[in-house]
Amino acid sequence: MRDYIIRRVLGMIPLILIVMIVSFGIFSLVPNPFAALIENPRIKKADIQRLIKAWGFDLPWYLRFFKWFSGVIRGDWGPSLLYPGSTARDVISRALPVTVRLMGIEFLVSIAIALPIGIISAVKQYSVTDYVVTVISFLGMSMPTFWFGLLMMMLFSVVLKRPSGMPLLPAGGFITPGLEEAPFWAKLGDRAQYLVMPVVVLAFSSLGGYARYMRSSMLEVIRQDYIRTARAKGVPERSVIYKHALRNAMIPIVTLIALSVPGIVGGAAITETIFNIPGMGSLIIQAETKADYPTAMIGLMLSSVLVIAFNLVADIVYAWVDPRIKYS
Amino acid sequence: MDNREVLVDIKNLRTFFYTEDGVVPAVDGIDLSIHRGEVVGLVGESGCGKSVTALSIMRLIPNPPGKIIGGEIFFHGKDLLKKNEEEMRMIRGDKISMIFQEPMTSLNPVYTVGDQISEAITLHQKIDDVEAKRRTVEMLHLVGIPEPERRYSQYPHEMSGGMRQRVMIAMALSSNPELLISDEATTALDVTIQAQILDLMRGLQKKLGMAILIITHNLAVVAEMAETIAIAYAGKIVENASAKEIFKSPRHPYTYGLLASIPKFTEKKTNEPLPAIEGMVPSPYHMPKGCRFNPRCPFATEKCREEEPEILELTPGHLVRCFHPIES
């Protein structure tokens, strides 16, 4: 097992390198952002030329890649084009915690709700509970987040008000200005109220998928002969479900969950935009459209590394929950 | 006849399945009694209701679609069909155990065989884990599994089909049941392994003295083991007598047909094809009027097509459901 992990980790290095080259290559297809400045009569041609040279846009993309890459190995990801004066790393490290907080909570909330309802709707297949859960799951999956988000805002920020006349929940943002340096608990409470709506919107859209997976996996297992064997030896029904069936039904689910973790850093561009949250999703899209390749590359590399790493995690967890899987 | 105490007495058991295509009377008035320590064979073609009878005794009919709609199953004089789920659970695996057709899928793949057997023991006996493990190893030894200590911590996938069926038997017998139901337990195994498992069951029956209900479509299996044989056809028992009687002088035309279709190696080799029973098992959705065997019976008369025969004791201990029984 240890050898297997070492081998897989070593195998990641060339893979990540390839991902870097390919994504950098695709980025170079974005037109040179400084070329457009030529239209502006108030900027000197010489200044434009200097900018182009400083950013390396006079070089072919592969030479620019080597220039960028030699910085990356030294930990220098380059300056941000989008936010002049900041490095790309600083820009990312401002957005990342905001997104991880939102998406992490959303992830935990949706799994904590989805798995139990998936189990219940499988155990009580075709019951009223099952139908209600199924309808709600599909509703969540098919409702656009921007629309549901706006509906939530109308209800909780416009219609419902606190006695003070303030909206019940803030319509957007992620922290009340001025509270950045407040004591821990005050800050926590403040952040929580900003998170309620986006977390609900995102969780509602993703929990249906997990619940359906859990339900079908559980249904598959409940039909198995060994479940009948468990009943035939007098195992109480609770134990039949939560010990004998669940352990087997979880095998595909843990893989699914492990593979979903990288999504936490990717952010949710639409929801972030609706709720005016300066997270990774909206940042990366802006960076990409404005040819801010140093910033966008960090985002891309972060996602790629996590996807590759969590594939390994999924394989390891898989072997851990299913004794039939052995790596050598 | 048999002066041993009656252990199980099934009276007019009716178990129906309510499917989308209609009602399937899988078991439609089965009567069967099993004495203490008796080995009873229940023989019939696929779909005649053998397995459903077994699952009805265990009260493990999947509902929906199945339901026991009538009759009584007396166990020690008390009707199992009147017991609540918890009382029934305490009987399963303790007083009545069952082994199944598919040893490859009847054990839970994510728990060790030792865990699965000791679970059966601790469910019904107040003993600690150390004692349960000791008993489990003892049971593994009893069913002829070499190196029981090592096998204890193996998973089902590390064992062959024959070994797994031995594990199933060890599990079923771990609480010294009074009745063991073997539902086609040797059908899925190689012929040589089949003989070994039958030998094992016969040996254990002599040693432990439990009653066995052997369910099979293979007359050769019951010929070697059963004292009493019941022949089932289309959800009813058509003949019930001692094994000796059944093989020596079958009275029901169906039994006669079954026996005639077994190749006999004692006879001179001929080029005659084996006699087979004409026609097909009736569709459960359209049971024939009158005697259910009449469309395939060479002796059927107008009466057979109109009226349903009762089961009658023709000679002491020999019950036959036929208007025109074959003369002995």
Residues of chain B in contact with residue A251, where contact means CB-CB under 8 angstroms, are: 110
Nearest CA in chain B to A233: B93
The burial class, CB within 10 Å (0-12 / 13-18 / 19+), for B82 is exposed
Write the pLDDT tens digit of every residue in B295-318: 888 888 888 888 888 888 888 888
Contact A244 B91 (CB under 8 A): no
Asked whether residue A87 is assigned to any structural domain, the reply reads no
Task: Classify residue A317 as left (phi > 0), alpha (psi -120 to 50) or beta.
Answer: alpha
Q: Same domain, yes or no, for B85 and B166?
A: no
Instruction: Report the 10 Å Cβ neighbour count for A284.
Output: 26
Distance of CA A327 to the CA centre of its chain: 29
Q: Which of B60, B85, B90 sits opposite A228 (nearest CB)?
A: B60
Q: Residue B186 — pLDDT band, cuts 50, 70, 90? A: confident
**Rounded Cα–Cα distance for residues A128 and A138 (Å):** 15
* Domain identity same for B262 and B135: no
Final residue of a structural domain among A38, A73, A108? A73
Could you read off the pLDDT of A32-73 as tens digits, one per residue?
A: 777 777 777 888 888 888 888 877 788 888 888 898 899 888
In angstroms, the separation between the Cα of residue A214 and the nearest Cα of chain B is: 18
- Nearest CB neighbour to A226, from listed B92, B107, B124: B107
Confidence label for B98 from pLDDT (cuts 50, 70 and 90): very high
The CATH number of the domain where B207 resides is what? 3.40.50.300
Residues B113 and B170 in one domain: yes
What per-residue confidence (pLDDT) applies to B269?
64
B97 Cα to chain A: minimum distance (Å):
7
**Does residue B140 share a domain with residue B230?**
no
Rounded to the nearest angstrom, the minimum Cα separation between B175 and chain A is 10
Residues B136 and B85 reside in one and the same domain = no
Total of domains in chain B: 2
CB atoms closer than 10 angstroms to residue A117: 23
Q: Within this chain, do residues A212 and A270 fall inside the same structural domain, yes or no?
A: yes
A81 assigned to some structural domain: no
Range of the domain at A125: 95-321
Which string of DSSP letters, residue by residue, matches A149-218?
HHHHHIIIIIISB-TTSSBSS-SS-SS-TT-TTS-HHHHHHHHHHHHHHHHHHHHHHHHHHHHHHHHHHH
pLDDT at position B268 over 70: no
Chain A residue at shortest CA distance from B119: A235
Confidence label for B230 from pLDDT (cuts 50, 70 and 90): very high
Full residue range of the structural domain in which residue B196 is found: 6-95+178-320
Residue A88 falls inside a structural domain = no
Count of the separate structural domains present in chain A: 2
Interface of B with A (CB under 8 A): 58, 60, 85, 89-94, 97-98, 100, 102, 105-111, 119-120, 123-124, 155, 157, 168, 171-172
| Any domain includes B326 | no
- Please report which confidence band the pLDDT of residue B202 belongs to, taking 50, 70 and 90 as the band edges: confident
From B284's Cα to the closest Cα of chain A, the distance in A is 23
**The pair of three-digit structure tokens given for residue B120, joined into one six-digit string:** 């059966």
Give the start-end residues of each E strand in B175-286.
179-183, 211-216, 228-233, 236-242
Per-residue pLDDT, averaged over B8-29, amounts to: 88
- Considering the domain architecture, whether residues B40 and B112 belong to the same structural domain is answered as no
**Would you say residue A23 lies in a domain?**
yes
Whether B183 and B170 share a structural domain = no
Distance from CA of A323 to the nearest CA of B (A): 6
Distance, in angstroms, between B93 CA and closest chain A CA?
4
Q: Residue B106 carries which side chain, given as an amino acid letter? A: S
| Same-domain check for residues B299 and B194 | yes
Per-residue pLDDT at B270 = 66
* In-domain check, residue B137: yes
Cis peptide before B64 (omega within 30 of 0): yes
Does B228 lie in the same domain as B135?
Answer: no
The residue of chain A nearest to residue B177, with distances taken between CA atoms, is A233
Calculate how close chain B gets to A311, using CA atoms only, in Å: 22
CATH of the domain at A119: 1.10.3720.10
Residues of A in contact with B155 (CB under 8 A): 323-324
| pLDDT tier, B291 (very low <50, low <70, confident <90, very high otherwise) | confident
- Amino acid (one-letter) located at A201: V
CB contact under 8 A, A226 and B106: yes
Tokens of B60: 């493990």
**Chain A residues within an 8 Å CB radius of B124:** 234
Q: Which two tokens stand for residue B166?
A: 């031995």
Please list the ranges in chain A whose pLDDT falls under 50.
Answer: none
Q: Are A228 and A153 in contact (CB under 8 A)?
A: no
Q: Are B180 and B212 in contact (CB under 8 A)?
A: yes
Q: How many whole angstroms separate alpha carbon B166 and alpha carbon B171?
A: 9
Picking from B176, B198, B218, the residue at the C-terminal end of a domain is B176
Q: How far apart are CA B298 and CA B74, in angstroms?
A: 37
Average pLDDT value for residue range B132-144: 90
Residue A325 and residue A49: Cα distance in Å, rounded? 60
- Taking an 8 Å cut-off on Cβ atoms, the answer to whether B92 and A322 are in contact is no
Which 3 state secondary structure label does DSSP give A298? Answer: helix
Residues B140 and B83 in one domain: no
Q: What is the pLDDT of residues B235-264, one digit of tens each?
A: 889 999 888 888 888 888 888 888 887 777
Phi, psi values for residue B160, rounded to 5°: -80, 170
A233 vs B contacts (CB less than 8 Å): 92-93, 97, 119-120, 123, 171-172
Is B1 a residue whose pLDDT tops 60?
Answer: no
d(CA B266, CA A115): 63
Chain-chain contact of A229 with B107 (C-beta, under 8 angstroms): yes
Residue B1 lies in a domain: no
For residues B172 and B182, state if they share a domain: no
Residues B136 and B59 in one domain: no
Rg (CA), chain A: 25
Cα(A175)–Cα(A210) distance, rounded to whole angstroms? 30
pLDDT number for residue A179: 75
Picking from B176, B198, B220, the residue at the C-terminal end of a domain is: B176
Q: Are A233 and B85 inside 8 Å of each other by CB?
A: no
Q: Does A104 lie in the same domain as A69? A: no
Among candidate residues B148, B176, B204, the one where a domain is terminated? B176
B100 occurs within a structural domain: no
Q: Are residues A165 and A65 in the same domain?
A: no
CB contact under 8 A, B85 and A237: yes
Question: Which among A14, A42, A73 is the end of a domain?
Answer: A73
